[in-house]
Structure 1
Amino acid sequence: MTAIALPKDAPADLPGEAPVLPATRPGAAGAWALAQAARDPYVILITIYIFAPYYVTRVIGDPVAGQTLVAGANKWGGWIVMATAPLLGATIDRLGPRKPWLAAVVALMVAMTAALWFTPPGGGGLSPAMVATILAAMTVAFAYHEMLHNALLVPAAGLSGAARASGLGLAGGNAMSVLMLVGVLIAFALPGKVAWGWLPAAPLWGLDPALGEPDRVTTLIVAAAMAAFSLPLFLKVPDMARSALSLGGAVRTGAADLAALFRGARGHRNVLTYLLARMIFTDGLTAILVFSGLFAAGAMQWATLEMLAYGIILSVAAVVGGLLAGWLDDAVGPKTSLKLELALLIVFEALALGMGRHRMFYQPWDGPALWDGPMFTTLPELVFLGLGCIIAITVTAAYASSRTMLTRVAPPDQLGVFFGLYVLSGNATMWLGPLLIEAATRIGGSQSAGLTPILGMLGLGWLLLFVVRGGGPVK
């Protein structure tokens, strides 16, 4: 939304054509960052590491069928986002206020996340169709939240504080997710599994592992945190003023704004080629995030304890990736960084797809346990964990380098236009990865076969980078 800056030929005969930013308020930037910290654990705990793997392995009971269901839900959600998000964002930009729309989205996200509690093993709760519908709707709601929340960044922090608040929001999301993972590990997963004196003897609150309650409780924890920690934003962050446009007028002028945005990008073949490459390889990066937990739970036969530890370790590794990207971009330039990151990611993702509880690098394995511990006791498990750390580092680094790359190839006087297209391109094909994975899983009949399109998306984006000019280090 506010990330979509209009080119000079944008419609000018509009009421409130140059909206005045509200004065920032004390604590508004922190409240904005806290709202992102409240939202992001949905991805980590529900989508990647805990709930979705639990649902696929214990409720569906078939990792292949479960992966197909999750892919289908993300596909439909991606189609809806592609069809609605750009015009909705442009329309709200013209109407003015963001907070009423964001409040409605947060309320829906809290309700839908909490509803996933009603998914016990053996049936008796929400049907798979209802769960798939919630997951698809959450894909849409999450994208809308990102759009509306990002549009409040400058009102919250001002132009001078936007970068600091943005970084704080990203760090807060990771920190909140890790704290939740550690909390669930100590309070619900480890008790009763290991005889450590400082742990409770049984899961807190009387949760029953046989009913999947230590897994399902993450839905209530994430929903409660989302509701509670979103409130400061609505109390402290100033909103944009209401424009004089009606809803119909805002839709029409929003559509005109989008047309002007695309007109402003014409004649810049090199930048558009990069955006195409980025659109394709980002689909692969996103697919890794969405499906890595499902694959780990199915292929390695990991339960709650292992998945919690896996999530904590990979979340820490991801921080290393963000730091590494900044250093590498400065040293060799973001284009070389991206080429290296994507190449490594293709290799290590291909190796990871050849792993399993009794399989290592596509070959059968039947060796003894290496140590007597609560988790990660076999060589395939330890190798898979190591591969996961490398993948987490390279995925995070590739995301960071891709953003830096645009600043090096886009004309400085049109960065707003191309960052607008950068945002739109992220939504345009977010359905592609789930669609290909759904089809490949059905055809291949295994999780690893279903995830092979990821390698193709990463590879095609990597190849396109070779025809993009620029992106070297700053001299």
Structure 2
Amino acid sequence: MTDIPLKKRVRGWMAFDWASQPYNTLLLTFIFGPYFASIFSDRLVAEGADTESANAHAQAVWGFALAIAGALIALLAPVLGAVADSTGRRMPFIWTFSALYVIGAAGLWFAYPAEFNTTLVLGFFVIGLVGMEFATSFTNALLPELGDRDEIGKLSGTGWAIGYVGGLIALVFTLCILAENESGKTLIGLSPAFGLDAELREGTRSVGPFAALWYMVFMIPFFIWVRESGPRLKPSLAIVKHGMSDLVATLKRLPQTPSLMSYLGSSMLYRDALNGMYTFGGIYAVGVLGWSVVDVGVFGILAIIFGAIFAFVGGRLDSRYGPKPVIVTSILALILAAVGIVSISPMSVFGIMVPTDSLIGPLSTADVAFYLCGCVVGAAGGTVQAASRTMLVRQANPERMTEAFGLYALAGKATAFLAPALIGVVSAVSESQRIGVTPVIGLFLLGLILLLWVKPEGEDEEVWASAT
């Protein structure tokens, strides 16, 4: 295959998690998402809308943008995965979608607060998000080449933990050096570095170019050390047709592989619900609890620390007990956290009235409760995502692994447009951010139910033989 040692190839593969995580951490969840919501909401309030409906509308628009990205990924992921399997070439796809990641992230610099062009800003964000998701899908498909079935759980968990650490470092740097709050200061009370203008929110807008630069630098080990195994064919019309026919055949055979089909359906629902919590958590805190972007960033630091620790621990538990019990336990914890988040308002937690004055430093009781829920989401979210990709390796046909991860991406995105759309619609109709995020609870429950039909070790060899 290559003369590059396996240890280096493993390190190179893990470098992707480190390099790509800032898109999720800085842009999707903790910095840019809340910034978008606050700027968009402020503009609506200036035009005469009341604050609550403006916040709900901002959440809705963000949800619809994510729905568009999810629809694009859902349509293209399995097709491109089938072509990659037929040609044996994944790296060209990773290069291409890495370029989209960089372009989309860098373009967020143009999110000027005074001349906020919603279409332009969301366009760049969607381009980068699509690039990140596709690059992730093709990189995940390389996992089975790095170890046997008993090892990949540990590898996946370690890689995910490394990604969280990278995201944590990027977030701490951003909060301390770049991103400013409403008073123009960073978390440690400094003006944004490098001469960035706080009044123009250049510190916060720079997180996009920063994420792009981070990705380009830390993907170098990946592109140097990671190589593909097996024959590599040049793409041609005949090969594309062959890949498409294999994909159609795989979809037709899904009912013959009920464990795989149930797992794809389950993961479609619970991963979408988790992404909804990640995506809207910061926006929710800004709108419901009145947090600043810096406050959300501190919240993110805690969530990421718990995510890194439990992704690492979960990988060990995965290797010892298998991914299914890890996934089930994580979903139960996420359901509890989701119920808690929806119940939190400045004056109540779980329906119980609480004082609004300070409990710990500047934090009220509601703030502390939200922090605790965020820690649970970080811990369970990191664990379930790491275990999910090792579960896919156990469920999939070993001969069609990239296609399987394409279907996995399809499963992850088939409702990725639905959950943000549901949150957007419910937020817009109810004009309440709290009510707007309730669809994630139902998605978690449905995903948990479908796991009942998933075999821990996947289909038997006889099943794959008869389904081929």
TM-score of Structure 1 vs Structure 2, range by shorter chain? 0.7 to 0.9
For 1:237, the equivalent position in structure 2 comes to 226
Asked if the contact 1:192–1:201 (Cα under 8 Å) also holds between the matched residues in 2, the reply is: no
Match of 1:306 in 2: 295
TM-score (norm 2): 0.81
Matched, 1:69 2:61: yes
1:360 to 349, 352, 359: 349
Instruction: Report the residue type matching 1:52 in the other structure.
Output: G
Matched positions, count: 444
Matched, 1:227 2:216: yes
From the superposition, tell whether residues 234 and 419 of structure 1 become closer, same or farther in structure 2 (CA, over 3 Å).
closer
Aligned 1:378-457 pairs, distance under 5 A:
378-402=364-388, 410=395, 421-457=407-443
Query: Partner of 1:458: helix, strand, or coil?
Result: helix
The yes-or-no answer on 1:206 pairing with 2:195 is yes
Which whole-Å deviations, capped at 9, do the CAs of 1:49-70 have from their partners, x for residues lacking one?
A: 0011011113442321221111
Q: Return the alpha-carbon distance in structure 2 between the equivalents of residues 54 and 295 of structure 1.
A: 12
Question: 1:262 & 1:147 partners in 2: Cα distance?
Answer: 18
Change (3 A) 1:402 1:158: closer
Partner Cα separation in structure 1 for residue 139 and residue 455 of structure 2 = 33
Deviation at 1:150, TM superposition (A): 3.3
Unmatched 5+ stretches in structure 1: 1-20
SS of residue matched to 1:205: coil
Identify the residue that residue 32 of structure 2 maps to in structure 1: 51
d(CA) in 2 for partners of 1:242, 1:67? 47
The residue aligned with 2:276 is: 287
How far does residue 234 in structure 1 lie from its aligned partner after superposition?
3.2
2:51 aligned partner: none
1:182 aligned residue: 172
Q: Give how far 1:195 is off.
A: 12
Q: Paired residue for 2:125?
A: 135
Q: What is the alpha-carbon distance in structure 1 between the residues aligned to residue 397 and residue 243 of structure 2?
A: 25
Look up the SS of the partner of 1:116 in the other structure. Answer: helix
Matches within 5 A, 1:100-115: 100-115=92-107
Deviates more, 1:277-286 or 1:410-419: 410-419
Q: Does 1:277 align with 2:293?
A: no
The match for 1:172 among 154, 157, 162 is: 162
Select between 235-244 and 344-353 the one with higher mean Cα deviation: 235-244
Q: Give the match for residue 257 of structure 1.
A: 246
Q: Deviations over 1:270-293 (max 9, x none)?
A: 443343223222221221122212
Larger radius of gyration, structure 1 or 2? Answer: 1
CA contact (8 A) 1:32 1:165 kept: no
Relative distance call for 1:60 and 1:247 in structure 2 (3 A) is farther
TM-score by length of structure 1 reads 0.80
Match of 2:451 in 1: 465
**Higher normalized helix content (fraction of residues):** 2
Aligned to 1:147, which of 130, 137, 145?
Answer: 137
Q: Could you give the per-residue CA deviations for residues 411-444 of structure 1, whole angstroms, max 9, x where no partner exists? A: 9989969777545423433322122112211211
For residues 381 and 232 of structure 2, the distance between their equivalents in structure 1, rounded to whole angstroms, comes to 41
Question: Are the aligned partners of 1:281 and 1:461 in contact in 2 as well (CA < 8 Å)?
Answer: yes
* Secondary structure class of the residue paired with 1:370: strand
Identity %: 27
Alpha-carbon distance in structure 1 between the residues aligned to 2:396 and 2:224: 38
Aligned to 2:46: none
**Which residue identity does 1:268 align to in structure 2?**
T
Instruction: Kindly indicate whether the alpha-carbon contact (under 8 Å) linking 1:287 and 1:454 is maintained by their aligned counterparts in 2.
Output: yes
Distance 2:456 2:161 in 1: 30
The 1:403/1:149 distance shift into structure 2, 3 A limit, reads: closer
CA distance in 1, matches of 2:111, 2:164: 26
Identify unmatched segments of 5+ residues in structure 2.
Answer: 43-53, 459-468
What corresponds to 1:38 in structure 2?
19
SS in 2 for 1:238: coil
1:94 and 1:245 in contact (8 A); partners too: no
Query: Conserved in 2, the CA contact under 8 Å of 1:407 and 1:415?
Result: no
1:124-147 CA-partner distances (Å, limit 9, x unpaired): 25x111222222223321222113
SS in structure 1 at match of 2:112: coil
Cα distance, 1:233–1:263 mapped onto 2, change above 3 Å? same
Residue identity matched to 1:178? L
2:84 is equivalent to residue 92 of structure 1: yes
Shift in Å, 1:97: 3.7
**Matched residues in 1 for 2:272 and 2:450: separation?**
14
Which deviations, in whole Å up to 9, do the C-alpha atoms of 1:194-243 show, x marking residues without a partner? 999x9675332233333222322211211111122223433443356885
In 1, the alpha carbon distance for the partners of 2:387 and 2:143 equals 22
Cα deviation digits, residues 21-72 of structure 1 (max 9, x gap): 4443584443332233111111111100001101111344232122111111
Is the contact between residue 50 and residue 307 of structure 1 (CA under 8 Å) also seen in structure 2?
A: yes
- Contact (CA 8 Å) 1:190, 1:199: kept in 2 or not? no
Task: State the distance in 1 between where 2:58 and 2:34 align.
Answer: 9
Q: In the superposition, relative to structure 1, how do residues 357 and 57 fare at CA in structure 2: closer, same or farther (>3 Å)? A: farther
Deviations 1:137-168 (A, max 9, x none): 2332122211333345577x577997776555
Look up the match of 2:463. none
Q: Is the 8 A contact 2:81 2:404 kept in 1?
A: no
| RMSD, aligned CA | 3.7
Report which stretch shifted further, 160-169 or 377-386. 160-169
Aligned letter for 2:4? T
Equivalent AA in structure 2 for residue 184 of structure 1? T
